[in-house]
Structures are given as C-alpha cells and as structure tokens.
Amino acid sequence: MKTMQLLEGLEFTDKAPNSEPLFVDAHGRVLRFTLKPGQSIREHNAPHSPFYVVVLQGHGMFTGGDGHEQQLGPHSLLIFDPAESHVIRAVDEELVFVGFLHGVPGMPPDKVGGMLTRDHN
C-alpha cells in the first residue's frame, strides 16, 4: 500500500493554475490542482478517459459539457464523461482538487512512473 497526504506541500503559482502529477502508471493518473482566487482552467477535455474530480479545499465554479456552471466545495465529487468539455474557476479563495484519469492508450513506457516524491510509505 502506498499513501499520501493530499493537502501537504501545496504549491500555488501567480501566473496560472498549478497541476501536479501525484501518481502515474499505465492504468491511470492522479493529478492535484491548485488555483488562486480568480484563476481558471480553460475549456478542455480528456478524450480517452472520464475525469473524476474530488474537491479538497475552497470553492470553485465547475462547468461541464452542458454549459451549466455550478459552485462546488469540499467533499464534492464531479464526474466528467470521456471527451466532455469542462471549465474550472476558483471563486474568492484558493481551490484545491484532485483529478483521476484512466491510462492513456499508447503511453510510452518512459512516461509511466509511480508515486512521486511525496510518497509517505
């Protein structure tokens, strides 16, 4: 078993939201996102995977493929279908969430890793 504290070592940047891979292997990826108030992640999608989001801290505006924007906060689970466009914006506080994706078809073996440096095992 490997473990990690998801709210330790948070990094925020002034220019843009921060995305940090916490775990990557051939089967999936776990990414931690940190946004300062007012920062946003432009519209995009994950063409080959659903995108599961768990909000850990703060509140954000989340827009899915239907164009409906919802404000969500800690303990919220969001499920975006494969290729579903989505937009994320921090409101008036820092926003931290974790995203989970399936592995990418044809991912080169040198791009596959494991737990990164914050492994607490």
For residue 119, pLDDT beyond 50: no
β-pair type (86-90, 40-44): antiparallel
Q: How confident is the model at residue 63 (pLDDT cuts 50, 70, 90)?
A: very high
Other C-beta atoms closer than 10 Å to the C-beta of 29 total 20
CA distance 1 to 114: 12
How far lies 20's CA from each of 37, 69, 118, in Å? Answer: 18, 25, 11
Tell me the domain boundaries of the chain: 31-105
The fold adopted by the segment(s) 31-105 is Jelly Rolls (2.60.120)
Candidates 26, 16, 7; CA nearest to 112 is: 26
Q: How confident is the model at residue 73 (pLDDT cuts 50, 70, 90)?
A: very high
Q: Under the phi-then-psi rule, with left for phi > 0, alpha for psi from -120 to 50, and beta for the rest, what region is 84?
A: beta
Q: What is the pLDDT of residues 33-58, one digit of tens each?
A: 999 999 999 999 999 899 999 999 99
Q: How confident is the model at residue 109 (pLDDT cuts 50, 70, 90)?
A: low
Burial class (CB in 10 A: 0-12, 13-18, 19+), 39: buried
Q: How confident is the model at residue 25 (pLDDT cuts 50, 70, 90)?
A: confident
Q: How confident is the model at residue 117 (pLDDT cuts 50, 70, 90)?
A: very low
pLDDT averaged over every residue in the chain:
89
Q: What percent of the chain has pLDDT over 70?
A: 85
